[in-house]
């Protein structure tokens, strides 16, 4: 059987970029779908030998059962928690990701959220939209001299450290493995998670989603944070327990604000069709509603998993994904395998 390449979750603009990058001899075998894929609509890609997906698809056991010809999956993301890697291994399906495309992109967005919260941008804009022009209640705070806790010092986290030092911040880091280059920086040191949470004015997460990071920030340890602290998550939703944030806000803690680009059950919000999905659990719906309840707070900013979303980063993502596809078609191996 000849290779059939199926791209899902691709916009019209992305389709044009893909066709410009991939070898023309494969054009007749390429199929594009703008929607994401899961067990309910996997028939769209039933002939696929290669599947190129993004984070809102769900490639689990049930989905794979409907993709009998599949040889390889390429996810246009660093994270792979939307793919059942073990199920793929059992079926000899190779999986690749894009391990490095936006360390500066996501790090910059992290500081977008930090600065927006520190300078009270959300209530300011809401007030101006109502025609009110005054500064009452809009007093912010400087980043200079503050302590930021960076959880995870991989490619993105290490870039956050560099930006923080540019602001003149003290930096505490927590990671499974220390980065020797980070250790050499002045005013930067690795500490335990408990110390980081208790000493930081701002805590920001940059870890992958896996069993060891599930609810890394939870009801037990979030209480260690200063009442004036700020919490930022541009990593993955389930590394922070939703109920923990809601509880702390109800106790008037996290006064520095909460910035979430990703959160538990975010797909219910991001993809309208999920609202019509009768397989949603009551727990998922509850978590989504809990997050929704935080929007009433003037010091909470939510965004729709948008940290990666710049023209430059998207072009890098597609370019690396196409390199993976070309490599697999030509040599049977990926350049960035999982």
- Among 82, 206, 305, 323, which one carries the catalytic annotation? 305
82 is catalytic: no
266 is catalytic: yes
**Sign of the CA dihedral 317, 309, 260, 145?**
positive
**Helices 103-118, 155-166: inter-axial angle, 10-degree rounding:** 50
| Helices of type H across 60-190 | 61-65, 85-90, 103-118, 121-129, 155-166, 180-183
Q: Which two tokens stand for residue 138?
A: 């809009």
- Among 236, 241, 264, 323, which one carries the catalytic annotation? 236
Residue whose tokens read 């000899």: 92
272 is catalytic: no
Q: Which residues pair with 50 in a beta bridge?
A: 5, 72
CA distances from 83 to 46, 56, 167 (A): 17, 10, 38
CA distances from 272 to 36, 56, 145, 275 (A): 12, 12, 43, 6
- Among 14, 241, 266, 323, which one carries the catalytic annotation? 266
Query: What are the catalytic residues?
Result: 236, 266, 305
């Amino acid at each position: 059987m000849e290779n059939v390449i199926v791209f899902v979750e691709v916009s019209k603009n992305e389709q044009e970029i893909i066709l410009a990058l991939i070898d023309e001899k494969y054009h007749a075998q390429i199929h594009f779908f703008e929607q994401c894929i899961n067990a309910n609509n996997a028939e769209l890609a039933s002939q696929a030998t290669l599947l190129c997906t993004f984070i809102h698809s769900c490639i689990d056991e049930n989905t794979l059962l409907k993709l009998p010809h599949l040889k390889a999956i390429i996810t246009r993301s660093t994270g792979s928690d939307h793919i059942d890697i073990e199920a793929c291994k059992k079926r000899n399906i190779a999986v690749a990701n894009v391990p490095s495309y936006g360390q500066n992109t996501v790090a910059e967005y992290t500081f977008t959220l930090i600065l927006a919260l520190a300078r009270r941008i959300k209530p300011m804009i809401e007030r101006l939209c109502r025609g009110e022009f005054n500064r009452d209640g809009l007093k912010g705070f400087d980043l200079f001299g503050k302590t930021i806790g960076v959880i995870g010092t991989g490619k993105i986290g290490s870039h956050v450290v560099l930006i923080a030092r540019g602001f003149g911040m003290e930096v505490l880091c927590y990671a499974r493995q220390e980065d020797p280059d980070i250790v050499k920086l002045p005013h930067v040191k690795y500490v335990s998670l408990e110390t980081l949470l208790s000493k930081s004015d701002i805590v920001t997460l940059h870890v992958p989603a896996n069993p060891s990071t599930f609810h890394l920030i939870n009801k037990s340890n979030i209480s260690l944070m200063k009442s004036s602290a700020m919490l930022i998550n541009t990593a993955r939703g389930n590394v922070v327990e939703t109920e923990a944030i809601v509880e702390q806000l109800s106790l008037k803690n996290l006064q520095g604000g909460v910035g979430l680009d990703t959160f538990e059950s975010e797909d219910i919000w991001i993809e309208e069709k999920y609202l019509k999905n009768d397989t949603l659990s009551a727990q998922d719906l509850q978590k989504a509603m809990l997050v929704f309840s935080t929007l009433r707070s003037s010091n909470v900013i939510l965004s729709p998993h948008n940290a990666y979303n710049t023209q430059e980063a998207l072009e890098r993502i597609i370019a690396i994904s196409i390199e993976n596809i070309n490599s697999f078609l030509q040599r049977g191996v990926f350049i960035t395998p999982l």
